Structure 1
Amino acid sequence: MNKVRQLLRRDSWVVPFLKSQKSGLFWSIVLSFLTILAAGSLMFVSGYLISRAAQRPENVLMIYVPIVLTRGFGIARPVFRYAQRLVSHNWVLRFVSKSRRRLYESVASTASNIRSRLQTGEVLSLLADDLDRLQNLYLRTLFPLGAGMILYLFVSVGIGVVNWLFMLWWMMMLSVIMIVVPIVSFFANRTRVKKQKQLQSQLYTEATDAVLGLQDWVLSGRQQDLIAYQGQVMADLANTKRTSMKFGWWRDFWIQILVLILVVSTTIWAGTQFAESRMAVNFIAAFVLAIFPLVDSFLGVNQGVSEASFYEDSMTRLNELPVPEAEVTTPKTIKTPTIVLNNVTFKYGDKVIISQLDLVVKAGEKVAILGRSGSGKTTLLKLIAGDIVPESGHVTIGNESVQSLKQNLSKFIAVLDQQSYLFDTTILNNVRMGNIGATDDQVKAAITQAGLQPLIDSLPEKYHTKMQEAGARFSGGEQQRFALARILLQNAPIVILDEPTVGLDPKTEHQVLRQIFKVLQNRTIIWVTHHLTGIDEVNHAYFLSEGHFILSDTPEKLRTTSTHFQKLLAMDDFH
C-alpha cells in the first residue's frame, strides 16, 4: 500500500486526471453511497413494515408511511444505481480515452527513445493491459472504497444514536471487515498478483512478437517449440489465476462468517433493546435485514484493495514512458543538422562496444552502416539517438550535444525499424501518429508519397480501413510503407533506418528501399543493414567491426577496391 501511495505521489497519469475531474469523482462516490443507502433503507423499512403488519394494526393508516417509504426506497435504489453507472463510466471512459491518446503520442513522438527499450508486444501490452488495469483502479477500488468509508461512518453514527456501546461493537466489526481483512488480503495476495501480472505481460509480449516473426519459426521448423513454450506460459498463468481465485473465495467466505456474526449479534442486541415495547419490537427485523445490502459493499472494498498490487506495476510502466512535450521549440542554434561523433567510446561493463569512433554525416547525406551481429551497429544508433551516453568523446547534431536536445530530439530524428508500431485503428489514425496535429489532407499526402494510393483505392473503406493489431491486415512491405508515411508526416531532417526490410522477400525489399530513398531524398539518412541490397542509394558505406570502422568509401569505389565488398555484393544480387 505504501508503494501505491508513493507512486500516486509521483504519478503523471492517474493523479492529474483525478485533480481535473474532481466533481465527477465526488458524484460517483456519493451516488454509490446513496445506492447502498437506498438498498439498506429499503430492507430496514420492509423489515419494520412486515413486523408491524403482522401485529394486525387496527387501522391501515398506521402502516401507510412505511408502505410509501418502501415504494420510495424501492424506486430510489435503481435510479441511484443507474445514475452512478452513467457518471462513473463516463468518468472512466474519459480517462481511458485521454490515456490511450497520450500513449499513442508518447510512442509516436519519442520513438527513438522507446525503440531501444520496448518491443512491439510490450507497447501493445501497455495499451491492452495497463490502461485497463488503471480503469479498474477507479471502478473497483477508488469508487467502492470511497463509498465504503462514507457508509462506515454513516452506519456507526446511526447505531450510536440508539446505543453507543453497540456502536463500538459495530465499529470494531466493520473495521475488521473493511480495513483489517483488505490490508491482510493485499499483502497475502501481493506475490501472486505480481506473478500473474508478469506472466500476462510476458504472454502478450511474446505471443505478439511470435506472430510477427511467425515466418522465421516456420522456416526454421520450430513450430512445436513455439507451441510448447507458449503453452507452458499459459499453464503457469492459469495455475496462478486459480490460486488467486481460491484465495478470493476463502477471503469472501470469512467475510461472510464475520457478517453472520454481525447479524446474530445484531439480532440479540435488537431483541434486548426493543423487546419490551410493542411498537419498538418491529425494529428487530428492520435492523437485522438492513445488514444484508451492506455485504456487497464490504465485498467490493475487499476485492478492490486486494487488487491494488495490479496497479503498482501498471503505474510504474506507464510513468516510465517519455512524456511528449505539448510545444517543443527547435533550438535556434541548429541551422544545419550535421551529425558528428568525435572520438566516441562506449562500454557495457568492461566490454568495449564502440572504440574511439569518428563519424561525420552532413545534412542531406545518405550513409550505410554495415557489420555483423555484435559489431556495435545498434549501440552506434543509440548513441546518435541520445538513448545512451558515451564513456568518452562527443555526439552532436548541428554543434549541439545530443543529450541537451533529448526533449526535442523527435523534431530532428525519425526512426524506421523492422517492427513498426501499428495499432488496431484506422489508417488515418495510424499515420497521423507521426504528427498529431496534421490535417487529413496532410496525412493523405504522406500516404500518397509513400506509394500507397493504389492500395488505398482498392480498399472498401479507403482511409478509414482498420489496420488490425500490429497492422496484421497488410503485408510486411505494406506495413513498412505505412510506417514510412508516418515518418514523412513527422518531417524530421534525420531519418534512421534500422534494418527496416528484414523479413521481406528480395523483390519487396528492393521496392520498399527504392521508395524510401526516393521520398526521403532531401533528408539525412543513416541506414543500418546487414547486406548490400540497395547500397547504390547511399553516398557512403561504413563497415563496422569490433567497435570501429574497418572500411569506408563510396559504393562505386568499393566495387573496384574491396574484395570483401565484392563478395557481399555477389551474395545479395537477387537478379
Structure 2
Amino acid sequence: MNDKGWVLPYLKENKRLLLFVVLLGFLTVFAASSLMYTSGYLISKSATRPENLLMVYIPIVGVRTFGIGRAVSRYIERLVGHGVVLRILSKMRLKVYQLVEPQVLHPRSKLKTGDVLGILADDVERLQDIYLKTVFPSLVSLFIYLLAVIALGFFSWPFALLMAIYAGVLVFLFPFVSLLVMKAKVQQIKQGRHVLYGRLTDAVMGVSDWQYSGRQMEFIEEYERQEHQLLLLEQKRNRFVRWRNSMAQVVIAIMVVSMLAWTANQSSIGAIDYTLIAAFVLVLFPLTEAFLPLSDAVSEIPSYQDSIDRLSGLELGGKQAADKQGENLIVPNGEPSVLELQHVSFQYDEYRRVLDDVSFSITQGEKVALLGPSGAGKSTILKLIEGVVPPTNGSITLNGVATHEMSASISQWVAVLNQHPHLFDTTILNNIRLGRPDATDEEVYEAAKQVKIHDLIESLPNGYETQVHEMGSRFSGGERQRIALARILLQDVPIVILDEPTIGLDPLTEKELLTTMFDVLKGKSVLWITHHLAFIHKADRVLFLDQGNIVLQGEHEHLLKTNERYQRLYVLDRPFDLTT
C-alpha cells in the first residue's frame, strides 16, 4: 500500500507510543493465553483431588493474576491506542482543512460539497482503522505467532512446524485470499458511497426545487436504486466473510484435535504430565482469537488505498492552489490604503478571456460602484482582489504588494459582504464576534447598534444568546445582512467589498440597508459590485464593466448628463425615487 505521506509520517512521529500500544496488545494476548493455560492445568490438577490446597494455590493465584492482568492491559491498550489515533486524526483533519481552504474559492476547483463531506466523514475516519484494525492487530498477531511456534518447538520441533502451517493458514493464507477476492468489491463499495455523498448533498441543497418540480419521488427512487446496488455488493462480501470464517473455524478445530492427539501421545510416553493436556489445548483459543481479525484487516487495505488516493488528490490540488499564493504577511499600520488594478487580464482557459486590460484604483475612503451585466467579470475581479488567483496579465496590488502574494493577511485588509452571508448555527453574539474573536460583548453590542439590529436582538427572549438556526433561517434576508455587516465592522479592515448585498430584497428594505451600509462605512474604501443602479448616486465614482472591459467610468452626475446609455440604464433600473 502506497501511503503517500498519510500514514508513515504519523507512524514515525508517534513510534514510541505506537510500540507501547503493540506491547500492551501483546501483553493482553499473553495474559489471556496464560489465563487459559493456567486454568486448564488448575482444572486437571483439581480433578486429581490433591491432598492439600497448597498444591493448587499457585495456579489459583495465577488465574486471578492473569485474569486481572488481561482486563487491565486491554483497558490500557484501548485507552492509549485510541488516544494516539485521535491525536493523529486531529492532525489529519487540520491538514485536510488547510488543503481544502485555498481550493474552495478557486475558480478551477473541482471540489464538490459531496466530495468534502465524503473526505471528512469517510476517508479521514477510515484511516483510523489502519491503526486500530490493521497495524496494531497485525504486529501483535505476527509477534504472537512467532513466539508460540518457538515455545512449542522446545517440546517438539516437528509438531511445532505442523502447527505453524495450520496457524499460517489463518495468519497468511486467509488474509491473502481475502485481499484478492475482496479488493474489487471493497473499492466499488467505497466509491459508490462517495457517489451517494455527492448526490445526497446536491439533493439537500436543491430540495426545494425537487419539491416544486414534482420529481422528488424520481430522485428517491434513483437514490434507493444506487443504495440497493451497494447493498448487493455488501451482501456478496458478507457471504464470503461468512464462508471464510467458517473455514477458519474448521482450521481451528483441526488445530485443537491435533494438539489433543499430540499431548495425549506425549503424556503416554511420559514427556509431559497428563494435567497439561487441557492446558495445551485451551491455550489455542486466545491465540487463534488473535489471528482471526487479520483477514478482515487485510481485506480493507483497498479501501484504505482509495482514501489515501483521494486525500492525495486533495493534497495535489491544495499545492497547486498554494503555488499561486505567496507568503507576504503584511498588516495595516494606519497608512492610507490604495487598491490598484493595472492592465489586468484574466482567462480560465485559452478560449475564454473574462477580463481584458482592466485598470482602476481605489484610494482610502473612496466609494466606487462596479456595474455590469451578469457574466461581465465582476465576480472574477472579486476573486482577484481576494488573492484567490493571480491575474493572467497585469497586476493587482494593495499598497504596492500583489494581493495573491499576501497569503492569509489579506483578511486584515479586505472584508466582503456578499449576496448570501453565512450565519452559523450558534448564537447571534458568536456570529457577530466572528469578525474579531477577542471582541468584548460591549463591542459586539456597539457594532449591532451601528447597523440598527440591536433593538431587534434585544427584543428576542434570549437576546444576543438567541440561536440563529442553520443558515440563519431565523432571520429575514435584510436582518442576516445587518448581522453580517456588524461582523465586518468588528473586523475593522480598511477596504470593504459589497458583492450585490441587497439582491433579492424588496425596494424599501434595500433602501434602508444601503443607507445603513454607506453610513457605517464612512472613511473606508468601498467597492460596491452590483448590476442594480439604486442608490448609485452615493458612489464617488462609477465603473461599468461589459464583456471584460471597462466601457464607462466617471462620477454618477457626469455620466447621467453626458452618456445616453447610462441615462437609459438608470431610468429603467431605479426602483424608487432617489432624490433624497
Match of 1:224 among 214, 217, 230: 214
2:417 pairs with 1:404? no
1:303-358 deviation per Cα after TM superposition (whole angstroms, max 9, x unaligned): 754542345435654785689x9x98416899433222222222232222212222
2:4 pairs with 1:5? yes
In 1, the alpha carbon distance for the partners of 2:441 and 2:108 equals: 29
1:115 Cα deviation after fit: 3.3
**1:115 and 1:426, CA in 2 relative to 1: closer, same or farther beyond 3 A?**
farther
Q: For residue 575 of structure 2, what is the aligned residue in structure 1?
A: 573
SS in 2 for 1:503: coil
Does the 8 Å contact 1:338/1:397 carry over to 2?
A: yes
In 2, the alpha carbon distance for the partners of 1:343 and 1:420 equals: 31
Residues 344-383 of structure 1 correspond to what in structure 2 (within 5 A)?
A: 344-347=344-347, 348-383=349-384
In 1, the alpha carbon distance for the partners of 2:59 and 2:384 equals: 77
Query: Which deviates further from its counterpart, 501-510 or 408-417?
Result: 501-510
Match of 2:105 among 104, 111, 115: 115
Query: Which deviates further from its counterpart, 385-394 or 294-303?
Result: 294-303
2:149 pairs with 1:159? yes
Residues 316-395 of structure 1 correspond to what in structure 2 (within 5 A)?
A: 316-317=313-314, 329-330=329-330, 335-347=335-347, 348-395=349-396
1:158 Cα deviation after fit: 1.9
2:543 pairs with 1:553? no
Q: For residue 194 of structure 1, what is the aligned residue in structure 2?
A: 191
What is the identity, as a one-letter code, of the residue corresponding to 2:192? K
Q: For residue 12 of structure 1, what is the aligned residue in structure 2?
A: none
SS in 1 for 2:283: helix
Residues 92-131 of structure 1 correspond to what in structure 2 (within 5 A)?
A: 114-116=104-106, 126=116, 130-131=119-120
Residues 377-526 of structure 1 correspond to what in structure 2 (within 5 A)?
A: 377-439=378-440, 441-526=442-527
1:440 Cα deviation after fit: 5.0
Q: For residue 282 of structure 1, what is the aligned residue in structure 2?
A: 278
In 2, the alpha carbon distance for the partners of 1:266 and 1:68 equals: 29
SS in 1 for 2:475: coil
In 2, the alpha carbon distance for the partners of 1:187 and 1:352 equals: 44
1:119-165 deviation per Cα after TM superposition (whole angstroms, max 9, x unaligned): 9x956974x65444466346432123232112321232123210341
Query: Which deviates further from its counterpart, 300-309 or 248-257?
Result: 300-309
Q: For residue 252 of structure 1, what is the aligned residue in structure 2?
A: 241
State the aligned residue count.
553
In 1, the alpha carbon distance for the partners of 2:59 and 2:574 equals: 89
SS in 2 for 1:275: helix
In 1, the alpha carbon distance for the partners of 2:338 and 2:195 equals: 43
In 1, the alpha carbon distance for the partners of 2:181 and 2:520 equals: 61
SS in 2 for 1:5: coil
What is the identity, as a one-letter code, of the residue corresponding to 1:472? S
Q: For residue 290 of structure 2, what is the aligned residue in structure 1?
A: 294
In 2, the alpha carbon distance for the partners of 1:545 and 1:75 equals: 79
1:518-549 deviation per Cα after TM superposition (whole angstroms, max 9, x unaligned): 32222222222222233233222222211112
Residues 299-310 of structure 1 correspond to what in structure 2 (within 5 A)?
A: 301-302=297-298, 305=301, 307-308=303-304, 309-310=306-307
1:281 Cα deviation after fit: 1.7
Query: Which deviates further from its counterpart, 234-243 or 88-97?
Result: 88-97
Does the 8 Å contact 2:118/2:194 carry over to 1?
A: no
Does the 8 Å contact 1:369/1:544 carry over to 2?
A: yes
**1:501 and 1:346, CA in 2 relative to 1: closer, same or farther beyond 3 A?**
same
Q: For residue 157 of structure 2, what is the aligned residue in structure 1?
A: none
In 1, the alpha carbon distance for the partners of 2:257 and 2:128 equals: 36
**1:228 and 1:356, CA in 2 relative to 1: closer, same or farther beyond 3 A?**
farther
Does the 8 Å contact 2:370/2:530 carry over to 1?
A: yes
Does the 8 Å contact 1:412/1:492 carry over to 2?
A: yes
Q: For residue 260 of structure 2, what is the aligned residue in structure 1?
A: 271
In 2, the alpha carbon distance for the partners of 1:38 and 1:445 equals: 65
What is the identity, as a one-letter code, of the residue corresponding to 1:161? A
1:252-282 deviation per Cα after TM superposition (whole angstroms, max 9, x unaligned): 3244145224303312431243112123321
Does the 8 Å contact 1:443/1:489 carry over to 2?
A: yes
SS in 2 for 1:375: coil
**1:494 and 1:234, CA in 2 relative to 1: closer, same or farther beyond 3 A?**
farther
Query: Which deviates further from its counterpart, 296-305 or 392-401?
Result: 296-305
1:71-103 deviation per Cα after TM superposition (whole angstroms, max 9, x unaligned): 444444444444445445555666677777888
Q: CA RMSD in A?
A: 4.1
In 2, the alpha carbon distance for the partners of 1:74 and 1:249 equals: 34
Does the 8 Å contact 1:182/1:301 carry over to 2?
A: no
SS in 1 for 2:206: helix
**1:282 and 1:89, CA in 2 relative to 1: closer, same or farther beyond 3 A?**
closer
What is the identity, as a one-letter code, of the residue corresponding to 2:148? G
Report which of the two structures shows the higher radius of gyration computed on alpha carbons. Answer: 2
In 2, the alpha carbon distance for the partners of 1:132 and 1:59 equals: 62
SS in 2 for 1:200: helix
1:7-41 deviation per Cα after TM superposition (whole angstroms, max 9, x unaligned): 457xxxxx57x777666655555555555555555
Unaligned 5+ segments in structure 1 are 10-14
1:190 Cα deviation after fit: 2.1
Does the 8 Å contact 2:460/2:466 carry over to 1?
A: yes
In 2, the alpha carbon distance for the partners of 1:559 and 1:195 equals: 58
Match of 1:141 among 130, 133, 144: 130
SS in 2 for 1:525: strand
1:193 Cα deviation after fit: 1.0
Query: Which deviates further from its counterpart, 285-294 or 314-323?
Result: 314-323
**1:76 and 1:522, CA in 2 relative to 1: closer, same or farther beyond 3 A?**
farther
In 2, the alpha carbon distance for the partners of 1:236 and 1:513 equals: 49
In 1, the alpha carbon distance for the partners of 2:191 and 2:257 equals: 44
Does the 8 Å contact 1:339/1:361 carry over to 2?
A: yes
Does the 8 Å contact 2:342/2:395 carry over to 1?
A: yes
1:436-492 deviation per Cα after TM superposition (whole angstroms, max 9, x unaligned): 454555455444444332343234444444433333343333333333233233333
1:207-246 deviation per Cα after TM superposition (whole angstroms, max 9, x unaligned): 45326xx4xx49xx84424x25653663355235424532
1:408-429 deviation per Cα after TM superposition (whole angstroms, max 9, x unaligned): 3222222222233433334444
1:497 Cα deviation after fit: 2.2
**1:162 and 1:379, CA in 2 relative to 1: closer, same or farther beyond 3 A?**
same
Q: For residue 541 of structure 2, what is the aligned residue in structure 1?
A: 540
Does the 8 Å contact 1:51/1:285 carry over to 2?
A: no
SS in 1 for 2:396: strand
SS in 1 for 2:4: helix
In 1, the alpha carbon distance for the partners of 2:350 and 2:106 equals: 18
What is the identity, as a one-letter code, of the residue corresponding to 2:187? R
In 1, the alpha carbon distance for the partners of 2:454 and 2:84 equals: 40
Q: For residue 262 of structure 1, what is the aligned residue in structure 2?
A: 251
In 1, the alpha carbon distance for the partners of 2:112 and 2:468 equals: 19
In 1, the alpha carbon distance for the partners of 2:12 and 2:524 equals: 43
**1:473 and 1:547, CA in 2 relative to 1: closer, same or farther beyond 3 A?**
same
Identity %: 30
In 1, the alpha carbon distance for the partners of 2:400 and 2:78 equals: 57
In 1, the alpha carbon distance for the partners of 2:181 and 2:145 equals: 23
**1:253 and 1:546, CA in 2 relative to 1: closer, same or farther beyond 3 A?**
same
What is the identity, as a one-letter code, of the residue corresponding to 2:235? K
In 1, the alpha carbon distance for the partners of 2:249 and 2:510 equals: 71
1:22-67 deviation per Cα after TM superposition (whole angstroms, max 9, x unaligned): 6665555555555555555545555555565566666665555444
SS in 2 for 1:422: coil
| TM-score, with length taken from structure 2 | 0.79
**1:520 and 1:560, CA in 2 relative to 1: closer, same or farther beyond 3 A?**
same
